[in-house]
Every structure is written in structure tokens, then in C-alpha cells.
């Protein structure tokens, strides 16, 4: 999908790299009605997990050769067959939850905060 087609609060199907055939529900998070601001992993223990990527112009996957992952904030439910209750939980997560996260994995709710670096992995609306 294209970035301009993505709407915050809508659940999409996400195809993870290296997991052929399985799709997981993902929802983009932002404080505005469109996807735009890039965020970055902090890579520092005991601080917030993400921060705004101030000088970034495009998403990038993190490697040992760069400053880390830069992408669009989202929350991912790591299950290809979530229940209706799981999807309600996913939809209840806010941008503030992402902004205040101290780790990408939220064990209490069983979701993963992620930075999406490739919109090509968003393969359509979640149908489940």
C-alpha cells in the first residue's frame, strides 16, 4: 500500500519479512489524521523506546552500519489468527501508549510497538 492510503486507527494486514504466507494485524499510530512523522528506536536501556527522528527524510531498516530503525509508528499483534477481543485490544492502543513505551514489547497487553520501514509489507485491510 502507499503511505497516503494508510489511515491511523484502521487495522491492516502486515506481511513480515521472512514469514511467507502469514499475515498479522497492524494499526498505525499518530497524533494527526495522516501518517507522516518518522520515529526512531533509541537503542538505550531504561529510557523511552522511541523518539522523533528529527532529521530523517525517509524510513530505513536498522543495521549495525546506521543509526537504527527509522519508520512510521504502529502497533502489531503477533498472531495471525487473533480473536475479536484481541482486535478490540489492538484498536484501544493509542499514540500516547507508543510515545511513552519503554520497550517495544508490551507484555501486559501482548502487543509489539514497531516502526514500519516498508509500506509494501502492508498488503491490505485486515480481514479476520
- The single residue listed with the C-alpha cell 538505550 is 44
48, HSE (Cβ side, Cα atoms, 13 Å): 11
Structural domain boundaries enclosing 113: 3-35+72-125
- CB count within 10 Å of CB 9 equals 13
In terms of Cα–Cα distance, which of 24, 5, 8, 27 is closest to 16?
A: 24
Q: Is the pLDDT of residue 31 over 90?
A: no
Q: Is residue 81 in some structural domain?
A: yes
Q: Is residue 94 in some structural domain?
A: yes
Q: Is residue 99 in some structural domain?
A: yes
Q: Which three cell numbers stand for residue 18?
A: 521472512
Q: Is residue 66 in some structural domain?
A: no
So what's the pLDDT on residue 67? 76
For the stretch 63-113, pLDDT in tens is 867 878 999 999 998 877 889 999 999 999 999 999 999 999 999 999 999
Higher pLDDT, 91 or 34: 91
Q: Is residue 23 in some structural domain?
A: yes
Q: Is residue 97 in some structural domain?
A: yes
Q: Is residue 61 in some structural domain?
A: no
In terms of Cα–Cα distance, which of 67, 70, 66 is closest to 53?
A: 70
Q: Which helix (H) or strand (E) holds 89?
A: helix 84-92
So what's the pLDDT on residue 33? 64
Q: How many distinct structural domains can be found in the chain?
A: 1
Q: Is residue 65 in some structural domain?
A: no
Q: Is the pLDDT of residue 20 over 70?
A: no
**Contact at 8 Å (CB) between 16 and 37?**
no
Q: Is the pLDDT of residue 43 over 90?
A: no
Tell me the whole-structure pTM to 2 decimals: 0.89
Amino acid at each position: 500500500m502507499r503511505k497516503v492510503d494508510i489511515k491511523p486507527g484502521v487495522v491492516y494486514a502486515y506481511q513480515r519479512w521472512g514469514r511467507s504466507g502469514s499475515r498479522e494485524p497492524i494499526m498505525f499510530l499518530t497524533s494527526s489524521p495522516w501518517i507522516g512523522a518518522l520515529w526512531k528506536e533509541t537503542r538505550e536501556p531504561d529510557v523511552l523506546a522511541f523518539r522523533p527522528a528529527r532529521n530523517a527524510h525517509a524510513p530505513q531498516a536498522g543495521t549495525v552500519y546506521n543509526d537504527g530503525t527509522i519508520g512510521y509508528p504502529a502497533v502489531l499483534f503477533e498472531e495471525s489468527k487473533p480473536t475479536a477481543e484481541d482486535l478490540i485490544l489492538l484498536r484501544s492502543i493509542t499514540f500516547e501508549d507508543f510515545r511513552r513505551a519503554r520497550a517495544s514489547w508490551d507484555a501486559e497487553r501482548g502487543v509489539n510497538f514497531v516502526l514500519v520501514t516498508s509500506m509494501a509489507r502492508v498488503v491490505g485491510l485486515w480481514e479476520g
